[in-house]
Structure 1
């Protein structure tokens, strides 16, 4: 029987556009100890005992989804059904009156700042739509939130700097390695030749296309290259890989297929330009890969000295490092063992405990500050249409 923490049973709304890995890991335990309402526009639900599920409409644009979900959470609060909200990835930028904790996995604002610095000033106008659709909601959500939770110190520094928040308002809670990925290390099934793996969105921000083109140019590298994921660069990736039998473009695959590929490959590449944490990197480390990545703060924080870092944006240097590893089995084995051991230190149990502690501390602080401010009376009247509730 699990220990039940001291303190009141809180009424919490967890808000996200679609189910995140964080929700799948955190909510089963949180909903066992608190009354959690899950508010989403997605179809998937975490395996948690929610008191209700509130469905929002799927929207093409994040902004429209955010306004819709925020409106439903505002109503829950006004009707006295929740004490506070927990918002994933700034989707609650339209919340009013509702006290909330914002959980960020990355900073699109920081990404836009980075990419804008890499182009001439007259081309920076192309980043304006990204500022409107993503960066401004991120700014609004972080500045209005009672607390912010991020998975890395690197992301905390960006959030504090960009949104001018006091450092004590932003808490670092690293994500965890899943046991099934850690178990892959002892179940490795190497193929007839070395395997290289990339897992991520096929998008210019992830940097995979220049690396793939450089790999295809280097015909002497005797290894298979598995590319897992989908995105707007899918057609360009397939075009670059055409005619090269070493490259295996997998698209979107299921968990079991991914675990099979994790067991069969030895080298993982992450040529991303920006990461708030790098969950795919942690999964590769847990399953025992020698990892080759661009040297950026978020990656450096997760990987430590258990892999190979090359200068940001240098695809040729990254492929050189991969080629060296493919020819050096003992070094791959040593890096894999160190990465696996380091990944085991990242615990979802620790993350669950830390997040619940922050939730309770935040609630106590909000209650102390609101004693002289009465809660608004319920505004919904009989006969009004409310959000779609489904008890689970």
Structure 2
């Protein structure tokens, strides 16, 4: 279902559509089919997600062919104030019983069609049956636009980072022995909204042995004295741009004897990775910077995920900071730096900040201290 969330001005939307066509032309595709989701929101300000009735923006590479926005008539009524016609986009609405796939492809030049990465198979296969048989993913085209944030996007991500920092600053209000992870998470989720987010997209509270599972979420485990607790939280601002930050807390002095040395190495690894961020360095250079510190400390096998992921309108998007990704960093790229140490069935710890590549280095969007926070 598509919903209007547009805060984009006409000039920005026109520029993004023009750049999309240029990138699509370089990729050798005849048209792109962009379904509801973050890509469509990036281009037009229209949010929402796909459902069984087709909604899509179809953008031919040929500038002589107008882009087409196909929408169920019952949905388009809520989108009428988005200035699609002013962008030169032809609006085609349809009602139940009509064929939206033929409507979407009408007038599209023959050739390869790039489709949204998360377009449901329900629509993908019917587009194929309607004539778009030569398909590829649109992600490689769209990433060339979305990886490099403009000034307005960077401002939103700074605001998101400051908002989630305010939540981390309050964790001591709720995190204490005798409470369950779920109880602490509920308070954190409420604070995420109180501090300016549209919603709490995710709240991980991993205490004791649960902290050794990077994507644990929450449980009814009662937090105990001596526990380490991994708190990984984030969500979108009303603009759609996301926060994502992790800090590790200790409820009284940690009971495990190896925490102090391992956490010191983790903190050094996170700082080394942040320091490695600069234009021209590659994503894998940053990953290697974190991994080398932990390897020197004998902890390499306990760092079991990539160092980071891009962030913007999606919590996870390109670029990915991982071994094998030799993509050079450029100003405007934004991503997490989040090494972790996970000792199975014992404890875990992670430190995560969002950073941006600047003209001459790096800017952190999270300002909370990275030392182990003892409650």
TM-score range, shorter chain: under 0.3
Which protein is richer in helix relative to its size?
A: 1
TM-score (ref. length: structure 1): 0.26
Q: Which TM-score applies when normalising by structure 2?
A: 0.26
Larger RCO (alpha carbons 8 Å, 6+ apart): 1
